[in-house]
Structure 1
Amino acid sequence: MNSLQLNLNQHLWEQNQLFLELEQFLLQNNVHPKQRFKLITCVLEAVGNVLHHGKSPLDKVILIIHCSHDCLTVDLLDPSVSPELAMPSHCPERDGENGRGLWILYNWMDKVNFQHAISGTHLRLSLLRH
């Protein structure tokens, strides 16, 4: 299993470095283009949610991606306590202010696990490899 750990910061986010790091890691691990697209989109959405809804500065957030032969797993560790991310029952309205990103997370990932921990909030996304 190969892993990539990133201690996030504003530079990574604002200069699209996060996207480039994710893309490079997934390419090195021969992840199919459609799965790379899904995983990167969901990671960027999750980090955006931490920025928008979280109470911690980005430099306190840790992103870990694990790549095995059969599964891609993302762990996003945020030291603040974020609200529970329940699965939307339907796709939000096109003109709605929010909710589509969460809908995408739950529909594109094979598993979404959200839990509160002593150290903050832990979001785990899993995608089975084809």
Structure 2
Amino acid sequence: MKIFPRSLLTVSVILGLSAMSSSLLTPRVNSAENVNSTKSTEEILLSQGRVFCTVARIRTGQLAVRFNPGGESRAGLNNGNTVRLLDREGRWAYIRIVDGPTRQLNGVEGWVNSDYLDCWTQ
């Protein structure tokens, strides 16, 4: 999974694997915000709900949205659908569908393979 600044500047971050020095990715935290300084950039962005992703690179079928990592599928996503990244566990991403293949799926949460997500921060 890749994370890009919304302006799509040249800095890209793969969650868990930084393409740049980690010092370049350290968020500036206002001391009045009482934020634990040991939190990673990923944890802070996820807790703020600021990471969005587009489904990409699906060649056939759909990206399965699952009840559990590797578990039973509950829905499917197409290339170009948008999700909000809520959590990560290894290769698995816990997401909420923002703009799915149908309006009925918007708001549904579940686990997807993060290899098929291109993400950005807002």
TM tier, shorter chain? Answer: under 0.3
TM-score (norm 2): 0.28
TM-score (norm 1): 0.27
- Greater percentage in helix: 1
Q: Choose 1 or 2 for highest CA Rg.
A: 2
